[in-house]
Amino acid sequence: MRKALLCFFLLVWISGCEFKDIDKRFFVVAMGVDATGKKDKPYLVTLRLAIPASKVGEGLAESQIEKVESPSIAEAIRNLKAHVDKEFDFGHCRVFLFGEKLVAESMDEPLNWLSRRRDVQLISFLAVAAPNAFHVLSANPTTERLAGNAFFLTFGGEGTVSPYTVTEYLFDSFRRFKEKGLDPYLPIVGFDGDSYVAERLVLLNKKKEILTLDPEETKLFNLSANKFSRSGIAADYKGRRLALFISRLSRDISIEKGEVPIVHLRLKVTGMVEESTASLMSNNLAKAESILEQSVNKQLEALLVKIRDADVDPYGFGLRYLAQYFGSEQDYEYWRNVYPRVQFQVDTRVVIESTGLVR
């Protein structure tokens, strides 16, 4: 009897479970942060909340948009809880969008909040929203089957796989914003009236936007920096356009130390001819390969110089320099001083393994 009474007394002090059922939760599938330009409330936070539906199909995705202006992101989230009847759950939020104006000013505050929030996944996608996050999150793609699913298919590689679309994860951005000799980048996503478009790239320093790449430059960056093999290259051959689909791609980078360091970037591209109205025979494949090699070398060297002149390093040449020569703090300062004069030598080897099917 004494033991039973003791157990009953201990049960009184056991707290109940604070877990809330799924029907009492709002799943945040995407979040956006914009700069308002106001001193008292500089941030506009937008949440896209999924609404469960009995039917799933194209154009049937249902979601609810909630937004509020606030002095900080954390205060905005707490304020938005007063706008809904369920608890926010960020466990399924894999897309965070930042307005163009915010990225041009500073990314310190959004990254600070993301790094401290315990329920934010490190595999979440980051992107710049054009013209702003509220506009993009409010859009409803006609082919979207589930709320926010279009973002996952665009950036996750589960749906479309485009050489113009660069994927950036939260864990990688944390590293790029902190690591010496490596700078961050973010894809730009917009809405064209029917679907999301992600074909440009923003390059940042450790704080804000510095340079925007156009679609062709974005494709070339994705190919050379991320070794994106499912891409293509093209050049004029005999006065006509020759397009090569890349099936395999390898890359090697080395830095030659000297008064002015030289970055050697070597690419080996293997693929098949995807389009060519000019005749291609075994005896003139070498000439076609040479023309493609020269075209890639010229374009890539111009892109590297453009990025260097903007004083950003998304390729991580500075980090590679320190790793290659066991660099100290003094070596990093030397690299920073000499980086505006660094020279680039691109050597591309193109191998045409097939001319495709000609009927």
* pTM, two decimal places: 0.87
Residue 279 in any domain: the answer is yes
How many other β-carbons are positioned within 10 Å of the β-carbon of residue 161?
Answer: 13
Residue 180 in any domain: the answer is yes
Same domain for 72 and 180? yes
What does the pLDDT read at residue 308?
A: 96
Q: How far is Cα 139 from Cα 120, in angstroms, rounded to an integer?
A: 23
Same domain for 253 and 345? yes
How many other β-carbons are positioned within 10 Å of the β-carbon of residue 312?
Answer: 19
Residue 240 in any domain: the answer is yes
Domain of 246 in residue numbering reads as 226-359
Residue 129 in any domain: the answer is yes
Q: Indicate the pairing of strand 209-213 with strand 196-204.
A: antiparallel
What does the pLDDT read at residue 61?
A: 57
Looking at 179, 213, 247, the residue that finishes a domain is 213
CA distance to 41, 63, 173, 202, per residue, from 44 (Å): 8, 19, 22, 21
pLDDT beyond 60 at 106: yes
Same domain for 126 and 231? no
Confidence band for 117, pLDDT divided at 50, 70 and 90 = confident
pLDDT beyond 60 at 359: no
Residue 138 in any domain: the answer is yes
> In the chain, how many domains are there?
2
CATH code, 240: 3.30.300.210
Three-class SS of residue 327? Answer: coil
Same domain for 201 and 257? no
Which residues are registered as beta bridge partners of 237? Answer: 240
Backbone angles phi, psi at 83, to 5 degrees: -95, -10
Same domain for 276 and 177? no
Same domain for 37 and 112? yes
Same domain for 113 and 162? yes
Percent of the chain scoring above 90 in pLDDT = 56
Residue 54, classified by CB atoms within 10 Å of its CB into exposed (0-12), middle (13-18) or buried (19+), is exposed
Same domain for 204 and 321? no
Same domain for 53 and 176? yes
Q: Convert the pLDDT of each residue in 189-235 to its tens digit.
A: 999 888 899 999 999 999 999 999 999 999 999 999 999 888 899 99
What does the pLDDT read at residue 173?
A: 95
CA distance to 80, 218, 305, 313, 322, per residue, from 340 (Å): 46, 22, 9, 11, 17
Same domain for 248 and 147? no
Residue 119 in any domain: the answer is yes
Q: Which residues contact 74 (CB under 8 A, 6 or more apart)?
A: 113
pLDDT beyond 80 at 355: no
Specify which of 18-22, 61-65, 181-185, 288-292 reaches the highest per-range mean pLDDT.
181-185
User: Is 242 within 8 Å of 288 (Cβ atoms)?
Assistant: yes
Q: How far is Cα 229 from Cα 116, in angstroms, rounded to an integer?
A: 35
Looking at every residue in the chain, the average pLDDT score rounds to 88
What does the pLDDT read at residue 302?
A: 96
Residue 130 in any domain: the answer is yes
Looking at 181, 213, 245, the residue that finishes a domain is 213
Confidence band for 24, pLDDT divided at 50, 70 and 90 = confident
Same domain for 138 and 251? no
Same domain for 230 and 349? yes
Mean pLDDT, rounded, for 7-31: 72
Confidence band for 258, pLDDT divided at 50, 70 and 90 = confident
Which residues are registered as beta bridge partners of 251? Answer: 267
Confidence band for 311, pLDDT divided at 50, 70 and 90 = very high
What does the pLDDT read at residue 56?
A: 57
Residue 111 in any domain: the answer is yes
Looking at 166, 187, 213, the residue that finishes a domain is 213
